[in-house]
Amino acid sequence: MTTSIKSENLNSWLSTDLKTFVIAGPCSVETEEQIHTTAQALASFKIPVLRGGIWKPRTRPGSFTGLGTKGINWLAQAAQANNMKSAVEVATAQHVEDCLKAGIDILWIGARSTVSPFVVQEIADALRGVNIPVMIKNPINPDIELWIGAIERIHHAGINNIAAIHRGFSQYEKNTYRNTPNWNIPLELKRLVPNLPVICDPSHICGSIDLIQHVSQKAMDLNFDGLMIESHYDPSIALSDKDQQLKPAELSQLIDQLIIREIDTENSEFKDQLFRLRKEIDKLDYEVLELIASRLKLIQEIGLYKKENNITIFQPERWAEIVETRKKYGKEIHLSEEMILDLVKLIHRESITIQTKVMQDE
C-alpha cells in the first residue's frame, strides 16, 4: 500500500550547479579550523550543503563521540561563511533544540535512531511547529516498515520537506561493503512513497573510499535524487571513520565522473521500441504467473496426499535436490545463482504455507 506522504523536490530546498544534489562534509566536527578549512574547499567545488557530526553514537566506548553542542556553532558559521547550508544528525529533543538555536538548516535522523519509534517520536514532538527540512536514514536492520514509520512520524509532526537517506544495512558476516546496500529496499520505498526524495550515502555503504565511485554511479543509475558523502580536508588525521572520507578535490572528481541519466525522453523511436519490448515482457510475466499457479495446484495435491499417508510436510532430501538441480539448470541458461536461490526459496515458502493449511484443515 502506498502512503500519502508528500515532500518537496530537493531542488526546492536549494539550487545547485552540480550534476546532482550533494551533501558533503566530515564524519565529525573536530576543530574549528578543520570544519572551516573543509567547508571552504567544498564550497570552491560548489557543494551546496555542509554536513558534520556533532553527536557520534559509536559502537564501542572510548571512541570519539563528537564535540557536542560547542561544535554546532562552528559548523553553522563555516556553512554561512561559504554560502552553504548546514546539516546535522539529531537523536534527542535536546539535539533538535540546540540545532535550531544555532541556525542549522537541515536535520537528519541516523540509522540507530530510526530503528526506535520512541526516539523518532521524541524528535518529531520537538519539531512540531518548526519549518525545517528533515532527512531520515534507513534503520540499521532491513525493515522497510520501520523506515516508513519514522518518515510518517516526522510528517505527522508537520514537516513537509522530508527526504530519505539510504546508507545500507548492517550484517553479521564480513562483506564487500561495510553495510550491504540491499538496493531492493530503497527501490521499494520509492514505489510506496513515490513523492519522497531518496538520497544515497555511499560512505556508510562502502566503509572505505574504494567503492564510493561505483556505489554513487549505481545510485544515479537507479534514479536516486542525490548523494551524501563524507569529506575531510585531510582524512588521515580524522578522529572517526577516516577510511571512508574523501578529500574535497577527490569528491569533486567523483562528481565530474558521474553519468547522470534521464528518466524520460522525447525520442519517439526509442519510446516505440521500449513499448514493444515491455509488451513482450508483460506477456511473458503472465505466462510465468500462470505456470507458478499450476505448480502450486500440484503442491496442494501433494499436501493432501501427504496428509492421507501421515507424511511430514518438509522433506530435506527433496528440498536439497530442488536447490541443486535448479541452480545447475539456471547456470546452463545463464541465470544468476542468487536469483535462482531467491526464486526457489520464495516458491518453497509458499509451498510450505499451502501444505500447512492442508494439514490443518479438518
Query: Both 348 and 285 in a single domain?
Result: yes
Q: What is the per-residue pLDDT across 63-83, written as a single tens digit (0 to 9) for each?
A: 777 788 889 999 999 999 999
Q: Decide if 35 is inside a domain.
A: yes
- 13 has pLDDT over 70: no
Do 68 and 141 lie in one domain? The reply is: yes
pLDDT at residue 251 is higher than 50: yes
Same domain, 235 and 279: no
Same domain for 245 and 123: yes
Q: Are residues 215 and 279 in the same domain?
A: no
Predicted confidence at residue 19, as pLDDT, reads 79
Three-state secondary structure along the chain? CCCCCCCCCHHHCCCCCCCCEEEEECCCCCCHHHHHHHHHHHHHCCCCEEECCCCCCCCCCCCCCCCCCHHHHHHHHHHHHCCCEEEEEECCHHHHHHHHHHCCCEEEECHHHHCCHHHHHHHHHHHCCCCCCEEEECCCCCCHHHHHHHHHHHHHCCCCCEEEEECCECCCCCCCCCCECCCHHHHHHHHHCCCCCEEECHHHHHCCHHHHHHHHHHHHHCCCCEEEEEECCCHHHCCCCHHHCECHHHHHHHHHHCCCCCCCCCCHHHHHHHHHHHHHHHHHHHHHHHHHHHHHHHHHHHHHHHHHCCCCCCCHHHHHHHHHHHHHHHHHCCCCHHHHHHHHHHHHHHHHHHHHHHHHCC
Q: Are residues 86 and 178 in the same domain?
A: yes
Q: In this structure, what CATH number is given to the domain that contains residue 337?
A: 1.20.59.10
pLDDT tens-digit profile of 135-145?
999 999 999 99
Tell me: do 191 and 97 sit in the same domain. Answer: yes
Mean pLDDT across 287-306: 96
- Residue pLDDT, tens place only, 339-354: 999 999 999 999 999 9
One domain, residues 77 and 107: yes
pLDDT of 38-63, one tens digit each? 999 999 999 999 999 998 776 667 67
Residues 101 and 41 in one domain: yes
Residue 3 within a domain: no
Domain assignment present for 177: yes
- 343, 214: one domain: no
Considering 257, 278, 312, which residue would you say is the last residue of a domain?
257
Instruction: Let me know whether 111 and 197 are in one domain.
Output: yes
Decide if 262 is inside a domain: no
Domain that holds residue 284: 268-360
Give pLDDT tens digits for 161-201: 999 999 999 987 778 899 999 999 999 999 999 989 999 99
